[in-house]
């Protein structure tokens, strides 16, 4: 009897041990997940069919061919901090109150005073925190730039400066890391090499990657034709060409990261998301505006997963909020009900009919624009139409702006350019994206489009109500005062005709 009892006990222990080992093995086989986020990069790449860069972005092209390429992925905002606040939470920035660029911030190294705190809704966690809860080691070796109050150490296991102070937002860590010179990547810093990791790596994309163009492949200023909404002048040609070169340079930077993953033995078990926070910074009308140039971003996903079938090209409308949800799903993490996005590879995935985007205060420029993109159209609603495209902004001292203003003063712009940049904006803009890829022929007053225009308008109006779009309400005086104080002594601000909302702070 005792012998039989002993055998049963031993058998149970072995089964328990086997179960434990199986569980451990399952945990160890979770995929690493890496977000490679390019700053300010429009998809001017061969894999996106760009005629100028075909053959000149070979790494992106091969990566897309071996993974899943999304042709119509959109940011939630055409500016970094608002977009990043959205995809790091999986929730639209206009719902969480993080829609105004560079808000809830500190100045001169001081801790954010409580009156400037923007706190996420109770119970909401960021994507890194949810991945931590799922057993992941987390890091961010780039910038945060989130418009809410948070403790970086709660999000990331490593990556905070030694003098980090909890509650300080935005620029923690080395946001300007040059990934062409990095020799030891953060994934190597996890104590347990069997632990899966979720990481964010930022490349400088449209801001600085043009310097990495392969030898003999750099485009000259006159090699790239300008879109007709820009005047054909040297400063505009230079800025526009710079972004094509930035795509070529980012291809080199991305290659360096992939090579390092392989060298460290991490590539095979890592699912890689490559995307950008929004479109081109070097050309006006893209960054900070809600046309395709500001909203359309590259998105490619590759990794050892059955869902990621090589050579897949998807043309459905997706949002970067879907990246947040998909990441959690792939990592086996909790999927909160409040998520705005969906798992792009779920069995019950439903293609979106519309994707919404929003622009609010950017630096000190106060504006409010909402946009809805569908399969064929882009609808834009300007809530401050009396404020021209060229109202005072952070780029005012750049040649692309000073030269444009000079041509306006001299009467040398085309009628469209003059009205577009310096005139009263239409309250509604409506474009046929296939017939009018530059979005210059506004169909809002065309009787042929009354019905489809109304559908987009009503969708946006309902969305604003249902999501309680915080852009409906004036920004808190304390936040505006902080913005005013941050900019008031800078020449571009002092000499500009700034928005009347700041009059209350003038002495």
Is residue 142 very low, low, confident or very high in pLDDT (cuts 50, 70, 90)? confident
pLDDT in tens, 462-482: 999 999 999 999 999 999 999
In angstroms, how far is the first alpha carbon of the chain from the final one?
Answer: 95
- The mean pLDDT value for 375-380 works out to 98
Rounded Cα gap, residues 249 and 204, in angstroms: 10
Beta bridge partners of 312: 68
Q: What is the pLDDT of residue 7?
A: 43
Paired residues of 137 in beta bridges: 197
For 180-199, how does the pLDDT look when each residue is reduced to its tens digit (9 = 90+)? 665 567 898 899 999 999 99
More confident residue, 276 or 26: 276
pLDDT at position 164: 62
pTM of the model: 0.92
pLDDT tens digits, 205-223: 999 999 999 999 999 998 9
Q: What is the pLDDT of residue 177?
A: 54
Closest CA to 336 of 134, 154, 197: 134
- What is residue 25's predicted lDDT score, i.e. its pLDDT? 46
Q: What are the structure tokens assigned to 11, written together?
A: 């058998």
The predicted structure's pLDDT at residue 30:
96
Q: Is 273 in contact with 301 (CB distance < 8 Å)?
A: yes
113, pLDDT greater than 90: no
Residues making up the chain, counted from first to last = 507
Of 110, 124, 83, residue with least CA distance to 169? 110
Residue 14 has pLDDT above 70, yes or no: no
- Please give the angle made by the CA atoms of 43, 49 and 53, to the nearest 5 degrees: 70
Write down the pLDDT at residue 399. 95
Question: What pLDDT score was predicted for residue 55?
Answer: 97
pLDDT at residue 227 above 80? Answer: yes
Q: Is the pLDDT of residue 122 over 50?
A: yes
Mean pLDDT for the chain?
Answer: 90
The answer on pLDDT for 285 being more than 60 is yes
Q: What is the pLDDT of residue 282?
A: 77
Average pLDDT of 50-58?
97
Q: Is the pLDDT of residue 27 over 50?
A: no
For residue 365, list its beta bridge partners. Answer: 362
The mean pLDDT value for 249-258 works out to 96
The pLDDT of residue 143? 83
Unique residue bearing structure tokens 């945990």:
27
DSSP 3-state of 199: strand
pLDDT of residue 158: 83
| pLDDT, position 12 | 44
Q: What number is the average pLDDT over the span 97-125?
A: 85
pLDDT digits (tens, 9 = 90+) for 143-165: 889 999 998 889 999 876 665 65
For residue 169, pLDDT beyond 50: no
* pLDDT of 110 over the 70 cut: no
Coil, helix or strand at residue 87: helix
Rounded alpha-carbon distances, angstroms, from residue 138 to 127, 130, 135, 154, 321: 10, 10, 9, 10, 19
Q: Above pLDDT 90, what percent of the chain?
A: 79
Mean pLDDT computed over 395-415: 96
Q: Can you give the pLDDT at residue 180?
A: 62
pLDDT at 451: 98
299 CB-near residues (< 8 Å, 6+ apart):
69, 70, 73, 273, 274, 275, 318, 320, 323
Closest by Cα among 343, 253, 233 to 38? 253
Mapped to the 3 state alphabet, what secondary structure does 293-357 carry?
Answer: HHHEEEEEEECCCCCCCCCEEECCEEEHHHHHHHHHHHCCCCCCCCCCCCCCCCCCCCCECCEEE
């Amino acid at each position: 009897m005792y012998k039989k009892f002993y055998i049963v006990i031993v058998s149970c222990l072995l089964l328990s041990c086997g179960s434990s080992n199986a569980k451990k093995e399952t945990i160890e086989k979770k995929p690493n997940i890496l977000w490679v986020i390019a700053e300010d990069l429009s998809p001017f790449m061969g894999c996106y069919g760009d005629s100028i860069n075909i053959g000149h972005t070979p790494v992106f092209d091969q990566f897309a061919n071996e993974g899943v390429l999304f042709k119509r992925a959109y940011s939630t905002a055409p500016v970094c901090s608002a977009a990043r606040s959205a995809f790091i939470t999986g929730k639209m920035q206009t719902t969480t109150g993080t829609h105004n660029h560079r808000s809830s911030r500190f100045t001169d190294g001081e801790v954010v005073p409580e009156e400037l705190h923007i706190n996420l809704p109770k119970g909401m966690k960021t994507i890194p925190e949810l991945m931590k809860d799922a057993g992941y080691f987390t890091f961010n070796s780039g910038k945060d730039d989130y418009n809410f109050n948070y403790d970086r150490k709660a999000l990331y296991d490593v990556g905070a400066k030694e003098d980090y102070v909890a509650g300080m937002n935005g620029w923690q860590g080395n946001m300007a890391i040059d990934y062409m010179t990095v020799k030891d990547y953060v994934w190597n810093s996890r104590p347990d090499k069997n632990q899966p990791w979720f990481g964010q790596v930022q490349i400088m994309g449209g801001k600085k990657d043009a310097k990495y163009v392969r030898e003999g492949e750099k485009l000259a200023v006159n090699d790239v034709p300008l879109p007709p909404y820009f005047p054909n002048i040297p400063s505009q040609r230079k800025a526009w060409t710079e972004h094509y070169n930035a795509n070529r340079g980012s291809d080199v930077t991305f290659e360096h990261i992939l090579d390092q993953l392989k060298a460290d033995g991490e590539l095979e078990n890592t699912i890689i998301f490559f995307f950008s926070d929004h479109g081109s910074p070097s050309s006006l009308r893209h960054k900070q505006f809600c046309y395709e140039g500001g909203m359309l971003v590259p998105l490619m996903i590759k990794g050892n997963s059955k869902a990621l079938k090589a050579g897949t090209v998807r043309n459905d409308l997706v949002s970067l909020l879907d990246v947040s949800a998909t990441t959690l799903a792939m990592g086996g993490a909790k999927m909160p009900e409040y998520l705005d996005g969906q798992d792009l590879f779920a069995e019950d995935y439903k293609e979106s009919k519309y994707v919404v985007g929003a622009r609010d205060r950017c630096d000190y420029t106060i504006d409010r624009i909402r946009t809805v993109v569908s399969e064929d159209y882009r609808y834009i609603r300007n809530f401050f139409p009396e404020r021209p495209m060229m109202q005072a902004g952070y780029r005012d001292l750049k040649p692309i702006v000073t030269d444009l203003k000079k041509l306006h003063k001299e009467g040398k712009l085309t009628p469209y350019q003059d009205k577009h940049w310096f005139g009263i904006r239409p309250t509604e803009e409506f474009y046929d994206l296939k017939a009018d890829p530059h979005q210059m022929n506004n169909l809002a007053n065309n009787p042929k489009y009354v019905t489809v225009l109304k559908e987009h308008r009503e969708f946006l109006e309902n969305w604003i109500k249902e999501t309680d779009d915080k852009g409906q309400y004036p920004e808190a005086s304390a936040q505006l005062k902080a913005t005013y104080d941050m900019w008031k002594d800078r020449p571009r601000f002092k000499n500009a005709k700034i928005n009347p909302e700041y009059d209350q702070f003038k002495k």
